[in-house]
Structure 1
Amino acid sequence: MDIFAFWITLFVCMAECVYAENRCPEVMQQLLKNGFHRDLLIRVNFGTVDEGTGSSIVAVKVHLPKGLYVDPYELTSLQMHNLTQALVITDDIDLEVPEYLATEVSVLIYMRPDPECVSCFRAILPLHCRYHRPTGSGGKISVVLKNPEILISSQKSFLSMECLKETEIEAPCSQKDLYICRWDSMKFKPVSKELKLQIPVGLKHHLTLVCMVTLATTILCSSLLLSALFKYECISFVQTSLQN
């Protein structure tokens, strides 16, 4: 009987977990554009709409690996045009360093209601790929973008308790108001798997050729600039002499 009761209890618990998971929000991540400069689209679908949904503030915390970064100056420009509400948590982002010298970046994005879905929130974050160290075989390197962390601040709870994690998180209340608020971290159903970006890498045996071409191009361009500058100064000198 004890074994039978154990299996019945286990079956009931698993059924409750599956049912609770099905009631939790769905989260979808999608990469837009191609190349080294992409846009990350994140959409959260609660599935239902009530008073609590409309009064809630939803944010997403994105953890970027060393191979990806955000440009704080670009985000500031987008915020001025009211195109995004992203807050970079990591300090001192170096935009120039390659992947092997970079550090991981965390970004907090305050989501907005999706005009195409009444029960959805969405956010777009511009991403940029870093250059990687050249390899012997070349090709491409995969950079994995893990699932984000979904946060919610609501005066009226409308989510099932099974969809809320036990721990609360402290984070700025908004992108403009840096006062610290308490947020609930949500469990969710990922619609898609972890995203992978394919980043091209160079070949080590091309190093000498690249250095020689770069040096030759630099010398040629500098010579052309000096030549143009010298001609301009000569013409200005002759014109000044004739006027005098």
Structure 2
Amino acid sequence: MSRRRMQGGKDTNCSEIILIQEIVKDGFHRDLLIRVKLGTNIENSQTCNVLIKYHLPMGLYVDPYELASLQEHNVTEAMIIQDTVDLEAPDYLSEEFDVLLYAKSDSQCSECFRTILPIHCRYHQPEEKEERAFVVVKNPELFVSCYNDFPSLNCWKQSEMEAPCSMRNKHICQWSNMKYKSVNQNVMLQVPVGLRVHCHLVCVMTLFITVLCSGLILRAVFKHGHFSL
């Protein structure tokens, strides 16, 4: 049974908006691939822009320098809604923050958009037994801004907000917060975690290797270096 809703006195078919999330790569450095399908009733989706807002947990961070490089190469357009991001802070000393992603039209699907967000896992405190921790990325908010009015999109409009039209176009656009169907409910990442029982061994070995390497460097400097008074 198709969904129908009254819009401006007309009965309109409302095809669902679909959002798909997928984690690619392994380890501490991952890519979050997002695809959005606006619906089969939108004849010309090229007149629409798609904005995705993620609220990232403390266990993850996004590198602003990496985002700037990706934007320069026209790969990803994203904006971190925070003054500074501490790239070295562990999970328990970091803060949550928001990221805005501007999706691009998908050449393989006329009504689809896609984007990629590089995300990085933070180090966690050692655990007693578990050698892994879980970080959950909650489903994002989805915003759409179109030059034309599509009744099928109006079916799922919840609220509106103002935001830059794109990273390159700083003019303010009116964005509609859309309800959508998520193929994957949230995204969960596994992060390797050390064991507390290994802490003393790791500290001793780290100190030993540091002293050994420093001694080898000093030996090479005095042996091969040229000093003048």
Q: TM-score when scaled to structure 2?
A: 0.89
CA contact (8 A) 1:60 1:109 kept: yes
Distance, in Å, in 2 between the alignment partners of 1:218 and 1:21 is 67
**Who wins on radius of gyration, i.e. which is larger?**
1
User: Which residues in structure 2 correspond to 1:50-61 (within 5 Å)?
Assistant: 50-51=43-44, 53-61=45-53
Count how many residue pairs are aligned between Structure 1 and Structure 2: 219
Q: Shift of residue 176 of structure 1?
A: 2.3
SS of residue in 1 equivalent to 2:155: helix
Which has the larger displacement, 195-204 or 178-187? 178-187
Query: Judging changes above 3 Å, is the alpha-carbon distance between structure 1 residues 26 and 231 closer, same or farther for their aligned structure 2 residues?
Result: same
Alignment of 1:77-92 (within 5 A): 77-92=69-84
Could you tell me which of 94, 112, 117 is aligned with 1:120? Answer: 112
Matched, 1:137 2:109: no
Q: Which residue matches 2:100?
A: 108
Task: After superposition, give the CA deviation of every residue in 1:139-190 in whole Å (9 maximum; x if it has no partner).
Answer: 211111111111111121223422111x211222211233432210111011
Amino acid at match of 2:123: Y
User: Which structure is higher in helix share?
Assistant: 1
2:36 corresponds, among 44, 65, 69, to 44
1:4-39: per-residue Cα shift (whole Å, max 9, x none)? xxxxxxxxxxx758xx99722100000001111000
TM-score normalised by L of structure 1 = 0.84
Q: Is the contact made by 2:47 and 2:148 (CA closer than 8 Å) also made in structure 1?
A: yes
Query: Residue 175 of structure 1 aligns with which residue?
Result: 167
Alignment pair present for 1:163 and 2:163: no
Task: Tell me the residue number matched to 1:12.
Answer: none
Structure 2 unaligned blocks of 5 or more = 6-11
Matched residue SS, 1:23: coil
1:52-87 CA deviation, whole Å, 9 max, x = no partner? x11111111111111011000111111111111111
Q: Distance in 2 between matches of 1:179 and 1:214?
A: 52
Deviation for aligned residue 1:193: 1.9
- Distance change >3 Å, CA 22–CA 155, structure 1 → 2: closer
Task: Give the Cα–Cα distance (whole angstroms) in 1 for the partners of residues 170 and 207 of structure 2.
Answer: 48
The amino acid across from 1:221 in the alignment is: C
CA gap of 1:21–1:219, structure 2 versus 1, over 3 A, is farther
Percent of paired sites with the same residue: 48
| Cα deviation, residue 200, structure 1 | 1.3
Which residue identity lines up with residue 134 of structure 2 in the other structure? S
SS at match of 2:98: strand
Name whichever of 178-187 and 149-158 sits farther off: 178-187
User: How big is the alpha-carbon RMSD for the aligned residues of Structure 1 and Structure 2?
Assistant: 2.0
Other structure's SS at 2:163 match: strand
Code of the aligned partner of 1:197: L
Query: Is contact 2:102-2:166 (8 Å) kept?
Result: yes
- Per-residue deviation, 1:224: 0.9
